[in-house]
Chains A and B, each alone.
Chain A
Amino acid sequence: MRVIVGVKRVVDFAIKARVKADKTGVVTEGVKHSMNPFDEIALEQGIRLKESGAVKEVIAVSCGPTACQETLRTALAMGADRAIHVPVEGAAYETLQPLAVAKIFKKLAEDNQANLVLFGKQAIDDDANQTAQLTSALLNWPQGAFAAKLSVEGGSKVKVVREIDGGLETIELNLPAVVSADLRLAEPRYASLANIMKAKKKPLDKKTPEELGVDIKPRIKTLSVEEPPVRKAGIKVENVDGLLQKLRTEAGVTF
């Protein structure tokens, strides 16, 4: 069994994003980047499946500029067997959208005869939460989004426990399938130095969108990116009556 895991390079979670002066996006230059935390969880799950013997090969894939290779090397250091970098640079990268990425993954899943494609449920930069679902639809494979637990049942099925609004839902998917990782699926390991050094010898291939025959032109146009409004100072109310009155008159709450 072969697993493909999507690992997106995003602005580090600890960085406070700043909007560019021309309002076309956020500042990424000179800003620390790292692997999307949810993708890291998906990758950890893929590696654990391999360690359990259920999976033979884990392939990490990242689409974007050359710097994505560092994200892929991190994936290799954590335990992926090989990596594929899909180079997308400059303006094409700035407008790279989930549909295009899903098409890339569809092609890579087919070309590499993958049985399972894993993603983080969303990336913390654009919060789109679309790539896994779109990939599943394009491949016409079953999907298990927001997985909190994942196990391989025999050789032909996976069991996925999903976190849904009302609680947990357990579903069984026929392989091949697409699964996206929620927060509690697996706690990612640290890439140890010995494994970082070993990862240097693991293959990292390049496949351009043209080679894959995928059209990555954007379908959505971003009009403007704005900072969220600055939070105004609060006020103190004298007593409960004062609070109730404010809630009624200013917050529009009806009791």
Chain B
Amino acid sequence: MLSRVALTCARRLTQSTAASIQQQHQQPRALLSMGASAARAAAGAGSSKQQAYVSPFDERPQLTDEHRIFRDAARRFFETEVAPHHAKWEQDGMVSREVWEKAGAAGLLGTTIPVEYGGGGGDAFHAAIAVEEQLRLQLSGPGFSLHSDIIIPYILHYGSEEQKQKWIPLMCQGKAISAIGMSEPSAGSDLQGIKTTAVRDGDDYVINGSKIFISNGQMADIIVLVAKTDPSKGAHGTSLILVETDRPGFQRGRNLKKLGLKAQDTSELFFDNVRVPASNLLGKENHGFKYLMQELGTERLVIGVLSQASAEGVFADTVKYVNERQAFGKSIASFQNTKFKLAEMKTQLSVGRVFIDRCLELQNQGKLDPVAAAIAKLHAGDMLAKITDECLQLHGGYGFMWEYTAARAYADARVQRIYGGTSEIMKDIISRTL
């Protein structure tokens, strides 16, 4: 017999007991995920009354029943299939291929992609929900949203029918992992300055150059590469080209050691006379920069969404922690400093959430402009930095320990102000309209 009492007790088990129970029986998902949350509780807050994370914005008015059902499924997926493995993946510097395929089978990849290409046929809120459920738990390893919300849309929007049919279903199943090759050792924010070239030779392009800081770089099967097809024309000589990673001349560099995002692979990529057929060109030749400008808004909103979710997650964990942690004979939640800090954070989070959701609404209507996207990214990135810092401080010494989400969130937060366009570039975009 297994009753609620047993179910709740199971959550309180230590990691090792939960693991041994899982070995004894093949537990149903509900129980497995409990094992996971028990494990995180034991490792994390040391809590004896861990509760399911309930978003303070459960009542977001834009969400329908379909969104809520999807959120439940996504939450369970990340609790069950990702959380228990994340520590190992941090050590490995990358996630497993298996989790990509599981995410594909669970319908978590390509949520906004039309059903006829194997996607979920959902809207911007579905995409946001998938990212939020992942980042609330600070599970930054799987590069799902980059793949689903940023790279697949390049192929969907600019690819030929043949390219779409060939790649998008595989990508939605998690059987083809993707990366996008933008940054170079000497060109980051200054995208116009990239040096990688793709020179037309008969029916092929011959690619030479190198890329750096490429997320999913170690695992990628397919790369959307930004290369100069006409170096004399500056930005207007840029093209997007699909490069399969089994092409001769393609080489992955090191899996780069990073300050955060420990379970996500980030690489250098080298192209030495890599030949791809001209049919691998995405869209029109020399239109690459235009395509990038059109899609970068979405990328920035995604980073805003995940920063907001990460901040909400670490905040919820911190509220739990300060209520349990005793100092000077009482819970640290009872000190005025704690109360004021939490109130400040709650205020920032609430205001930020409304702006993010408004951006998602605009995205659904096809009206999200680059300035709003830049504001979303700038604000959420700055807020996340402040909140992770304050939350870590409220944890004291424990906050500096890696097993606490406060430490992981703090480490992962730093890059949100850098990648996808730095905060300074966001300010530049916003100020241009003033």
Residues of A within 8 A of B (CB): 12-17, 32, 34, 37, 40-41, 69-70, 73-74, 77, 122, 124-125, 127, 129, 183-184, 187-197, 200, 228
Q: Smallest distance from the beta carbon of B84 to chain A beta carbons, Å?
A: 15
Contact A37 B28 (CB under 8 A): yes
Please, which residue of chain B has its CB at the minimum distance from the CB of A11?
B4
Known: A187-B28, A190-B106. 13 other contacts (CB 8 A): A14-B37, A14-B52, A15-B51, A15-B52, A16-B49, A70-B65, A77-B73, A122-B1, A183-B27, A190-B105, A193-B126, A196-B69, A197-B120
Q: Give the distance in Å from the alpha carbon of A228 to the alpha carbon of B8 in the complex.
A: 13
Q: Give the distance in Å from the alpha carbon of A129 to the alpha carbon of B54 in the complex.
A: 29
Please, which residue of chain B has its CB at the minimum distance from the CB of A124?
B4
Q: Give the distance in Å from the alpha carbon of A129 to the alpha carbon of B1 in the complex.
A: 10
| Interface residue tally for chain B (C-beta within 8 Å) | 44
Chain A positions within 8 Å of B1 at CB level: 122, 129
Contact A14 B26 (CB under 8 A): no
If over half of A's interface residues share one DSSP class (helix, strand or loop), that class is named, otherwise mixed; here it is: loop
Please, which residue of chain B has its CB at the minimum distance from the CB of A76?
B69
Given A188-B29, A195-B107, A197-B122, A127:B69 Cβ within 8 A:
no
Contact A124 B52 (CB under 8 A): no
Q: Smallest distance from the beta carbon of A75 to chain B beta carbons, Å?
A: 10
Which chain B residues in 52-95 approach chain A with CB under 8 Å? 52, 54, 58, 65-66, 68-70, 72-73, 76-77
Give the top 5 A-B pairs by smallest Cβ distance, nearest first.
A192-B107, A193-B120, A14-B52, A37-B30, A190-B106
- Identify B34's interface contact among A14, A70, A187, CB under 8 A: A14
Given A77-B69, A184-B26, A194:B121 Cβ within 8 A:
yes
Please, which residue of chain A has its CB at the minimum distance from the CB of B110?
A193
Q: Give the distance in Å from the alpha carbon of A106 to the alpha carbon of B33 in the complex.
A: 34
19 contacts between A and B (CB under 8 A): A12-B52, A70-B69, A73-B65, A74-B69, A77-B69, A129-B1, A183-B25, A183-B31, A184-B25, A190-B77, A190-B107, A192-B120, A193-B111, A193-B126, A194-B120, A195-B107, A196-B66, A200-B66, A228-B5
Contact A125 B120 (CB under 8 A): no
B365 within 8 A of A: no
Chain A positions within 8 Å of B111 at CB level: 193
Q: Give the distance in Å from the alpha carbon of A31 to the alpha carbon of B207 in the complex.
A: 57
Q: Smallest distance from the beta carbon of B356 to chain A beta carbons, Å?
A: 20
Chain A positions within 8 Å of B28 at CB level: 37, 40-41, 183-184, 187-188
Contact A124 B3 (CB under 8 A): yes
Q: Give the distance in Å from the alpha carbon of A12 to the alpha carbon of B70 in the complex.
A: 16
Q: Give the distance in Å from the alpha carbon of A142 to the alpha carbon of B1 in the complex.
A: 22
Q: Give the distance in Å from the alpha carbon of A41 to the alpha carbon of B119 in the complex.
A: 26
B11 within 8 A of A: yes
- Identify A70's interface contact among B2, B29, B68, CB under 8 A: B68
Please, which residue of chain B has its CB at the minimum distance from the CB of A188?
B29
Q: Give the distance in Å from the alpha carbon of A17 to the alpha carbon of B2 in the complex.
A: 16
Q: Give the distance in Å from the alpha carbon of A41 to the alpha carbon of B32 in the complex.
A: 13
Chain A positions within 8 Å of B69 at CB level: 70, 73-74, 77, 191, 196
Contact A13 B7 (CB under 8 A): yes
Contact B72 A34 (CB under 8 A): yes
Contact B66 A192 (CB under 8 A): no
Chain B positions within 8 Å of A12 at CB level: 52
Residues of B within 8 A of A (CB): 1-5, 7-8, 11, 25-31, 33-34, 37, 49-52, 54, 58, 65-66, 68-70, 72-73, 76-77, 105-108, 111, 115, 119-122, 126
Chain B positions within 8 Å of A70 at CB level: 65, 68-69
Q: Smallest distance from the beta carbon of A157 to chain B beta carbons, Å?
A: 26
Contact A14 B51 (CB under 8 A): yes
Given A15-B51, A16-B51, A193:B70 Cβ within 8 A:
yes
Chain B positions within 8 Å of A187 at CB level: 26, 28-29
Chain A CB within 10 A, most for which of B27, B52, B105, B115: B52
Q: Give the distance in Å from the alpha carbon of A12 to the alpha carbon of B11 in the complex.
A: 13
Given A37-B28, A70-B65, A124-B7, A196:B70 Cβ within 8 A:
yes
Please, which residue of chain B has its CB at the minimum distance from the CB of A31?
B54
Q: Smallest distance from the beta carbon of A126 to chain B beta carbons, Å?
A: 9
Please, which residue of chain B has its CB at the minimum distance from the CB of A17?
B4
Q: Give the distance in Å from the alpha carbon of A194 to the alpha carbon of B11 in the complex.
A: 31
Q: Give the distance in Å from the alpha carbon of A121 to the alpha carbon of B148 in the complex.
A: 39
Q: Give the distance in Å from the alpha carbon of A197 to the alpha carbon of B119 in the complex.
A: 11
Q: Smallest distance from the beta carbon of B3 to chain A beta carbons, Å?
A: 4
- Identify B115's interface contact among A13, A122, A190, A197, CB under 8 A: A197
Contact A125 B65 (CB under 8 A): no
Please, which residue of chain A has its CB at the minimum distance from the CB of B33?
A14
Q: Smallest distance from the beta carbon of A48 to chain B beta carbons, Å?
A: 14
Contact B70 A191 (CB under 8 A): yes
Q: Give the distance in Å from the alpha carbon of A150 to the alpha carbon of B68 in the complex.
A: 31
Given A190-B77, A194-B115, A197-B115, A32:B54 Cβ within 8 A:
yes
Q: Give the distance in Å from the alpha carbon of A35 to the alpha carbon of B15 in the complex.
A: 26
Contact A193 B30 (CB under 8 A): no
Contact B121 A193 (CB under 8 A): yes
Q: Give the distance in Å from the alpha carbon of A40 to the alpha carbon of B73 in the complex.
A: 12
Q: Smallest distance from the beta carbon of B122 to chain A beta carbons, Å?
A: 5
Q: Give the distance in Å from the alpha carbon of A183 to the alpha carbon of B21 in the complex.
A: 13
Chain A CB within 10 A, most for which of B28, B111, B115, B120: B28
Q: Give the distance in Å from the alpha carbon of A124 to the alpha carbon of B72 in the complex.
A: 18
Contact B26 A197 (CB under 8 A): no
Q: Give the distance in Å from the alpha carbon of A124 to the alpha carbon of B135 in the complex.
A: 29
